[in-house]
Chains A and B, each alone.
Chain A
Amino acid sequence: EPEVTQTPSHQVTQMGQEVILRCVPISNHLYFYWYRQILGQKVEFLVSFYNNEISEKSEIFDDQFSVERPDGSNFTLKIRSTKLEDSAMYFCATSLLGTGAFFGQGTRLTVV
């Protein structure tokens, strides 16, 4: 069964450092998303990406965040200068038009 793959599974970084989270979407999917989940809380939308551009972003997705699909397969989330409050699980999700989104297993980001 096709699945969304995320790497790394766990990333520890110092405050102020840049991190890049990577996702390999399901191959024929067209819509890509990043969500985050602070421990024990709900899943929060960060950004959606379609046709090689951001289609929507939330208030959380400020100038410190960026996304790209550099090689037509991987989909990345970059946080330029991490803050303590960026510590969370980050989920990549992908979908086809008209379907639900399929989520990866997540990257646990710990900012120290």
Chain B
Amino acid sequence: QQQVKQSPQSLIVQKGGIPIINCAYENTAFDYFPWYQQFPGKGPALLIAIRPDVSEKKEGRFTISFNKSAKQFSLHIMDSQPGDSATYFCAARDRDDKIIFGKGTRLHILP
């Protein structure tokens, strides 16, 4: 059972564009929703996170939008740069503190 569904699987955007990655979940016990960025050969790095009582969080060029009623959340990258090219994982933490990952989105920003 896929607890966190992520789309698209891959995404190509021109420099300066706004890639949007979407995630959906079923388990209402999830209480924390982090996004991770992973470069090849590296571990996932915590990028930004949101709690379900907040509808939006912005850190620099990264914004999470959260829709609790729809059980969906998304990552927007403003003014995207080639250096943002990476795999992005949405995730959710359950009450046992286990973090469950989506399948990932390979993002490529064209120069």
Contact = CB atoms under 8 A, between A and B. Distances in A.
A101 B96 CA distance: 13
Contacts of A97: 97
A43 B44 contact: yes
Contact of B96 (A42, A56, A100): A56
B32 interface: yes
Given A43-B89, A55-B97, A102 B103 contact: no
A45 B91 CA distance: 11
What secondary structure prevails in chain B residues at the interface with A?
Answer: strand
Interface residues of A, number: 26
Interface residues of B, number: 21
Interface in A37-56: 41-45, 48, 50, 55-56
Given A33-B99, A100-B99, A106 B32 contact: no
A97 B32 CA distance: 11
A91 interface: yes
Interface of A: 4, 31, 33, 35, 41-45, 48, 50, 55-56, 91, 93, 95, 97-106
Q: Which 5 A-B pairs have the closest CB atoms?
A: A103-B43, A100-B34, A43-B101, A42-B103, A100-B46
